[in-house]
Amino acid sequence: MKNPLFQSFSTPHQSIPFSKIKTEHFIPALKEAIEKELAAIDEIVAQPDRPTFSNTLDKLANCGDLVSRNAGILFNLNSAETSEALQKVAQEAAPLLSQFQNDIRLNFKLFERIKTVYETTDHSNLSAEEHMLLEKEYKSFVRNGALLNDAQKETLRALDTQLAQLSLTFGEHVLADTQAYALNVLDAEDLKGLPENLLELAKATAEQKGQKGWTFTLDYPSYVPFMTYAENRALRKTLSVAFGKRGFQDNENNNTKLILEIVQLLKKRAALLGYPSHAAFVLEERMAQSETEVRTFLDTLFDKAYPAAQKEWQTMEKFAEKEFNLSPLEKWDTAFVAEKLKQAQLSLDEQLLKPYFPMDKVLDGLFKIVQKLYGLEFEKNEQLDGYHEDVTVYEVKKNGLFYALLYTDFFPRPGKRSGAWMTQFKSQKAAERPHISIVCNFSRATKTQPSLLTFQEVTTLFHEFGHALHGMLANTTYSGLSGTHVYWDFVELPSQIMENWCYQSEALALFAKHYETDAALPKEFIEKIKKIAHFQQGLQTLRQLGFGYLDLSYHGEDSTAINDVKEHEMRQLEKVQFTADTPENCTSTAFSHIFQGGYAAGYYSYKWAEVLDADAFELFLENGIFDSATAKAFETHVLSKGGTEHPMTLYKRFRGKEPDPSALLRRSGLV
């Protein structure tokens, strides 16, 4: 069997030859790559020379590319283009990789070399990046059990293996429940209020499933507009309850026991390493350095947002009762009523905006914005493999020279998890440029219309592209400090700051054009878009804070007291919710961000980074949103630097001061 994963790719830019990779290639390639890397580490350890930065840290940082590359391909495909066979491979690979990491992190002789360098080297003789690498590696070993005795190390290995497998299983359960459900509607009367493009999509979905009528799914491009526009309250309830039941049904995909097990194992792991909680372990390496600091941050925003949210909710209640005779408001009413209220208050139906946001033009406009800001150019290369026919590959150039590969994957399909994310197939490091991917779930083109984005989808695209820029503009020596390898509560700054351009007239003029007439988005619509940024900010902030509180509760000091996921969740969310609880629903059982996606004890970072991005964008507003000097400073001090220095150091170098928390409140209209 010729396995392309055994060696470096001989393709242009070492791009991935997806068409040549088979599911059965992964495990043999991973095993061989792991064996080679462990042998390389043995060579580092066996050196007779006194440990130095160059013969230990530098060598360690530059071995093991095949393992990370092959694992990255596998788990990226498992998220974006999975199958039952690939899921089985991922389950087999997870403990292998967990054991491999432990073989490195629990290698006492390797740690002794690093410890010697850490304790005897004059750190002032190191560059800022070398200093950060040394600090990061030393702490990483300590935080992964290097100071434990042999029995404790074996316990840690077992815990990490279990957690890796449970995390994968959690995601598989959510995906299975998502794809198992479909709402088939036969009576056109039940479809009142739904936009034409959604009806076309639902008709096509029904045909694909061999059904009559219209079929709606729990994928976001189907679910969100249905909940927003469907006048049939009973069907809204049906779909809402189905969505909320993912991972919480009496079937093999139930995640409640899994959550309790994950929480207990994380607490046990933290205790083994000397921390009172998993949150304490995580937050030691964050800008917010403790559970208390995060809770204070969330509480401060809660105190500012709750009075506004309460007023917004009361306005919703009065409007719903007067206009639709709806009382009390239920969970499945909120998106529908909020949209109608927005139309009434702003005289704006967001469906009227969609024709001005065809996917291709929005992407082209985004490319133009990025070119103006950072000098990047994007050239489609159809000769390079994508992992699915929906995937487009771009060569990214700067000053005429190759700078990165960008993979875009925008539409939902079976085997692709919901949501939107940025990832990478290859990290940047000295003399090597990155391969970056952005994955979304936007509405497909229909027989009569191209893919048209909602304004929220436009901001989602800009958000993920901000992450992509962090990867593409990375310019560091070591891959472990490159791009998005930063403190977790700093990683959302590049993504969230990009959303700001969606609200600026100069930027909208580059891409907001009618798909049929090419007419520019009318000025009155632009003014209303700006007002959208303030619409129900209290309620939206409360929703995000609820996720933050819930996340912290599962990973904080009291996590071991949780014995019923549903009851615990209700207690945590009670103060941020105005609708009654739905007994058959549970948010936690599909909360993939914290149980699968790496945001455990870190969900607060979305709001934390909003403070940073609101403050940072005020500098663009002062100097001009396309001001080259401001963009250059942001690239130089933030985007290109990755995690080579402490994030606050980088931020202050760009902004000239620490972030002002009131900038977010000003932007949100909460002060």
Q: Which residues are marked as active site?
A: 464
What beta strand segments (E) does 237-318 contain?
none
Q: Find all residues with CB under 8 Å of 401, minimum gap 6, and list them.
A: none
Distance of CA 485 to the CA centre of its chain: 13
Tokens read off for 512: 């907001």
Q: What is the DSSP letter of 510?
A: T
Report the sign of the C-alpha dihedral through residues 44, 45, 46, 50, in that order: positive
Report which of 44, 157, 167 is spatially closest to residue 100, judged by C-alpha positions: 157
Q: Find all residues with CB under 8 Å of 258, minimum gap 6, and list them.
A: 166, 169, 170, 173, 595
Report which of 56, 555, 58, 19 is spatially closest to residue 264, judged by C-alpha positions: 555
Angstrom distance (rounded) from CA 563 to CA 569:
11
User: Which DSSP string do the residues of 581-621 spell out, in sequence order?
Assistant: P-TT--SGGG-HHHHTSS-TTTTTHHHHHHHHHHHHHHHHH
Count CB atoms within 10 A of the CB of residue 272. Answer: 15
Angstrom distance (rounded) from CA 173 to CA 251:
10
Contact yes or no for 535/345 (Cβ under 8 A): yes
The amino acid occupying position 266 is L
Pairing of strands 392-398, 376-380: antiparallel
Angstrom distance (rounded) from CA 530 to CA 505:
9
Tokens read off for 626: 């396309």
Angstrom distance (rounded) from CA 198 to CA 200:
5
